[in-house]
Amino acid sequence: MAVGSPPVDTSQAREAAEPGAAALTARRCAAQLLCGDPAGSAEEVTGRLLAVQAQDPRGARLAIRARSAGLTAADVDAALGSRALLVSWLNRGTLHLVRTEDYWWLHPLTTPQMRTGNSRRLAQEGVPPDDAARAVSVVRAALDADGPLTRAQLRERVAAAGVRTEGQAMVHILALATIDGLIVRGPMAAKDQAFVLVSDWLGAPPPALGRAAALGELARRYLAGYAPASDRDLAQWAGIGLRDARLGLAGCGAVQRQDGLAELPAGLSASGRAAAVLPPPLLLGAFDPLLLGWASREPIVGPHRQIVTVNGLFRPFALAGGRAVGTWTFAGGQVTLTPFAPLGDQVTAALDAEAADVRRFLASAAVAAG
């Protein structure tokens, strides 16, 4: 592993500043599968986290790597091809990797609030409502006849129908078709993920969950992968209102802690209630769930706010002692670490081993970059 500034062996990476903060981070990392027994499949990781942000395809795959053992990026691609996993615009109007069975109730719960913003963006891109509806019809017909198809292939079909596709117009046309429940991102087509019709790829939907039941399921599944957490944490992560978040937490029987955070009853918590230890040093990818699951990133990021850029990109970072200790890049098959401060021998050796595992994991990747 190349290092941006030479490490000096002076000390171990420090733990979180306060014992209480370290304990909270340890509990959350255990819920996130970053310590304890690793997962054995991409589906298991995705099921625990419920939804993994996937606007950066490599980052989504690296989130699987950090929480599993022995998998490769090709295993994630295989799960997409087998219809076990899919990617769609869901929470917060952002692309997320989810299990297929969870799509059916997450989509109606988290996408209606996207419609107003989507209409506004289409108008800004020069696509009036009639053209947007025509474009969605073209997308649907193309996928029905020739799907799966990539975004570039669908862009050609829509442009041929006389609808503007320049700039971000095509992205928002595809988002509209997604909001309408017509399409999702399914199998890989070389280095691109192809779009498919929901009706073709997923088949008939299961019986619909009522809204109250869906909110309860959302809260239960969120706490399984992110507890301890607050109602505001859930609302921000899922992109729902605070009232709905509170209804969901009440509906899933969440237990309120003395610090005001919620968790599942002991019998329902997959990570258990035993005192958790902080995870070993790790290399986490772009948009890792450890930075996206709660309203505040302060316990992990501390003063190193450059991990999140001014335009909202979440950079890959190194974790040690429960805190971010540097950023890293992957180019030309090489991991380059830039630590925020000198790292000790043990942390450096552990991150070297992580770099080797990143190379192993990505060696089979169809998606070379985000």
Q: What backbone phi and psi angles, to 5 degrees, belong to 303? A: -80, -5
Residues 249 and 286 placed together within one structural domain of the fold: no
Q: Please state, rounded to an integer, the average pLDDT across all residues of the chain.
A: 92
Residues 260 and 282 placed together within one structural domain of the fold: no
Per-residue pLDDT at 234 exceeds 50: yes
163 within a domain of the structure (yes/no): no
191 within a domain of the structure (yes/no): no
Kindly state the percentage of the chain with pLDDT values over 90.
87
* 77-120 per-position pLDDT tens digit: 999 999 999 999 999 999 999 999 999 999 999 999 999 999 99
Using DSSP bridges, classify how beta strands 282-284 and 262-263 pair: parallel, antiparallel or unpaired: unpaired
Per-residue pLDDT at 213 exceeds 50: yes
Residues 264 and 280 placed together within one structural domain of the fold: no
Q: Given this model, what pLDDT does residue 364 score? A: 75
Residues 316 and 357 placed together within one structural domain of the fold: yes
What average pLDDT does the segment 7-20 reach? 42
Nearest to 254 by CA among 241, 268, 243: 268
Q: Which of 268, 295, 314 is the last residue of a domain?
A: 268
Residues 9 and 88 placed together within one structural domain of the fold: yes
Residues 282 and 263 placed together within one structural domain of the fold: no
202 within a domain of the structure (yes/no): no
* 170-202 per-position pLDDT tens digit: 999 999 999 999 999 999 999 999 999 999 999
* 296-354 per-position pLDDT tens digit: 999 999 999 999 998 889 999 999 999 999 999 999 999 999 999 999 999 999 999 99
Q: In this structure, are residues 212 and 106 in contact, taking their beta carbons and an 8 Å threshold?
A: no
What average pLDDT does the segment 36-56 reach? 97
Q: Given this model, what pLDDT does residue 310 score? A: 80
Per-residue pLDDT at 272 exceeds 60: no
175 within a domain of the structure (yes/no): no
Q: Can the peptide bond before residue 281 be classed as cis, meaning omega within 30 degrees of 0? A: no
Per-residue pLDDT at 365 exceeds 90: no
Residues 356 and 292 placed together within one structural domain of the fold: yes
325 within a domain of the structure (yes/no): yes
Cα separation, 290 vs 172, whole angstroms: 28
- pLDDT interval class at 367 (50, 70, 90): low
Domain count, the chain: 2
Per-residue pLDDT at 58 exceeds 50: yes
**Count of alpha carbons within 13 Å of 181, Cβ hemisphere only?**
13
123 within a domain of the structure (yes/no): no
- pLDDT interval class at 43 (50, 70, 90): very high
Residues 251 and 281 placed together within one structural domain of the fold: no
Q: Given this model, what pLDDT does residue 368 score? A: 46
What average pLDDT does the segment 2-27 reach? 56
SS3 for the chain is CEECCCCCCCCCCCCCCCHHHHHHHHHHHHHCCCCCCCECCHHHHHHHHCCEECCCHHHHHHHHHHCECCCCHHHHHHHHHCCCEEEEECHHHCEEEEEHHHHHHHHHHHCHHHHHHHHHHHHHCCCCHHHHHHHHHHHHHHHHHHCCECHHHHHHHHHHCCCCCCCCHHHHHHHHHHHCCCEEEEEEECCEEEEEEHHHHCCCCCCCCCHHHHHHHHHHHHHHHHCCECHHHHHHHHCCCHHHHHHHHHHCCCEECCCCCEECCHHHCCCCCCCCCCCCCEEECCCCHHHHCCCCCHHHHCCCHHHECCCCCECCEEEECCEEEEEEEEECCEEEEEECCCCCHHHHHHHHHHHHHHHHHHCCCCCCCC
pTM of the model: 0.92
Residues 328 and 350 placed together within one structural domain of the fold: yes
Domain interval for residue 358: 2-101+276-362
What average pLDDT does the segment 58-68 reach? 98
Residues 75 and 44 placed together within one structural domain of the fold: yes
CATH of the domain at 239: 1.10.10
170 within a domain of the structure (yes/no): no
144 within a domain of the structure (yes/no): no
* 312 CB-near residues (< 8 Å, 6+ apart): none
Residues 230 and 291 placed together within one structural domain of the fold: no
- pLDDT interval class at 232 (50, 70, 90): very high
Which residues does residue 210 pair with via DSSP β-bridges, in sequence order? none
Per-residue pLDDT at 50 exceeds 70: yes
| Of residues 276 and 321, more confidently modeled | 321
Residues 288 and 358 placed together within one structural domain of the fold: yes
Q: Which of 245, 268, 291 is the last residue of a domain?
A: 268
Q: Given this model, what pLDDT does residue 21 score? A: 85
